[in-house]
Amino acid sequence: MVSAVGGGNIDVAAIVDSLMAVERRPLQSMQAEVRSINSRISALGTVQSQLSSLRDAARKLASADGLMLSTFTSSDDKVATARSAGNATPGTYSLTVSRLASAQSIASAPVTDASSVVGSGSLQIEIGAMTGGVFTPNGTGTTVTISPANNTLAGIRDAINASGAGVSASIVRDAGGARLVLSSKQSGEGSLIRVTATDDGASPAPGLGALAYSPAAPTATATREVQAGVDALFRLNGMDLRSASNTVTGVVDGLEISLKNTTASPVTLQVATDSDGLKKMLGEFVTAYNAINSSLVAQTKYDPSNKSAGPLQGQRVAVNALNQLRAMVRNPAVDDAGGLSSGGLFNIARDGTLSINQTEVDKALANPARFRDLMSRDGTAGNFSSQGIGDRFVNLVNGLIGNDGSVSTQITAWRQNVTDNQRRQDRFNERLQLTEQRLRQQYGSLDSQLSSIQAAMSPLANLINSMNR
């Protein structure tokens, strides 16, 4: 018996899929490469973020102002309080306040209401002080033009407030009517008000002259002083002092005192070093350092037990970063006087993690100025031992994750590799599509040819089979 030749009906899809699986192997290699690169980018991105956190913590240690942490207490905070205005020196201060500073206010004679016309022309407003019965302005003063369009009490108020003349204008109503009140924006005896009026005569009485006022002749016009501009008077540690403001700076270096009320009995202000605050800053630094140290160790290690490597294993930029960070700690900072060193402030474990040596930190904090020098000092570029702990880590991290830093540069390079790889994949996919199309055409044609041969051979096969019966 003779069987049909060829049989036709080739499984074109199965054959082409099998062949394409071989063709796609280079693409799979490229995709695996991208996954590997992305894994490294993700790992190094985590490192970059942790380095940024370390830099933030180091900046606090590198900041002279940030290290001026002090506690301020007042025996009566209703009378006075204190806070840092720089390098506050620890100490105890006895304060008695006999008078608070105030800003001068003057008020015009009353008119019917805010819409009443006062006059037009100009007002020259000056701020200054009285010396020997003579008013001396601090500058050239401000000229405010009053026209018929704004010659009411309300219009004049608005024009003065818009002029930046160093006073604030408001309208106060009492039993007599509405008054224009001008208040100096600064307290003290050096911020008195003088108003010179030039009336153009275009408006009915009272005219702008009703708003004129001079500290040298306070009763010469209808506008009078309603609150004197005086300096604060106080006694600090036995010294009689005065201040144009109730916020007193410059009397004690680094200390800002806020006067709030007068008192006959002394108030005690206490300034002390905030050791707990400084320890907290050190603790934040240690936490940030340990996070990046642990991360770099995990990302760069090789585990022989399960033959697995971290995503950054063998990556020079990560290994170098870890070595540089550890060198910064092991190379102690020394203060200018040579009496303090960072070498004893931290305990270093075998795995590189840090912990605070509380005993040594307490000793260092006993001299706040020297401790600040140990933490915050620019030093010499490239000479880390001359730099404070905070400054050296800020400089190191800037060199790693700055725009041209090794970590940032490596991430940028890897991202470019991913982009280039994707372009190659796109081109390879185009070739794969053409290859698959060609294979399907070829095997589809072969299938058709075999079917034709089968159809042609079928009668002959039938004849032979019948003769063999």
Residues 252 and 199 in one domain: no
Residue 438 belongs to domain spanning: 1-69+274-469
Residues 243 and 168 in one domain: no
pTM: 0.60
Residues 172 and 254 in one domain: no
Residues 182 and 329 in one domain: no
Sign (positive or negative) of CA dihedral 44, 47, 49, 51: negative
Residues 26 and 57 in one domain: yes
Dist. CA 87–CA 157, nearest whole Å: 43
Instruction: Write out the chain's pLDDT in tens, 469 residues.
Output: 333 334 456 787 888 888 878 888 888 888 888 998 898 899 899 999 999 999 999 988 887 656 667 788 999 999 999 987 766 778 899 999 999 999 999 999 999 999 999 999 999 999 999 999 999 999 889 999 999 999 999 999 999 999 999 999 999 999 999 999 999 999 999 999 999 999 988 777 789 999 999 999 999 999 999 999 999 999 999 999 999 999 999 898 888 999 999 998 999 999 887 778 888 888 999 999 999 999 999 888 888 888 888 888 888 999 999 999 988 888 766 654 444 455 578 888 888 888 888 888 888 777 776 777 778 777 666 666 667 788 888 988 998 998 888 899 999 999 998 889 889 888 888 888 888 888 888 887 887 777 777 777 777 666 677 777 6
Residue 295 C-alpha from the chain's centroid: 25
User: Do strands 70-74 and 267-273 pair parallel, antiparallel, or not at all (unpaired)?
Assistant: antiparallel
Residues 215 and 260 in one domain: no
Residues 394 and 297 in one domain: yes
Residues 294 and 433 in one domain: yes
- pLDDT tens digits, one per residue of 108-120: 999 999 999 999 9
Residues 412 and 266 in one domain: no
- Looking at the structure of the chain, the number of domains it has is 3
Residues 323 and 187 in one domain: no
Joined tokens for residue 368: 């706040």
Q: Which helix (H) or strand (E) holds 15?
A: helix 12-23
Q: Which residues of 28-58 are buried (b: 16+ CB within 10 A; e: fewer)?
A: eeeeeebeebeebbebbebbbebbebbbebb
Residues 33 and 116 in one domain: no
Q: Supply the DSSP symbol for 90.
A: P
> Which string of DSSP letters, residue by residue, matches 372-423?
HHHHS---BTTBGGGS-HHHHHHHHHHHHHSTT-HHHHHHHHHHHHHHHHHH
Q: Letter for the amino acid at 151?
A: N
Last residue of one domain, picked from the residues 197, 227, 257: 227
| Percent over 70 (pLDDT), the chain | 90
Sign (positive or negative) of CA dihedral 124, 129, 130, 134: negative
For tokens 């340990």, the residue is 290
Residues 147 and 210 in one domain: yes
User: Which of 73, 108, 68 lies closest to 88, judged by CA?
Assistant: 68
CA atoms within 13 A on the CB side of 230: 11
- At residue 425, φ and ψ (nearest 5 deg) are -60, -40
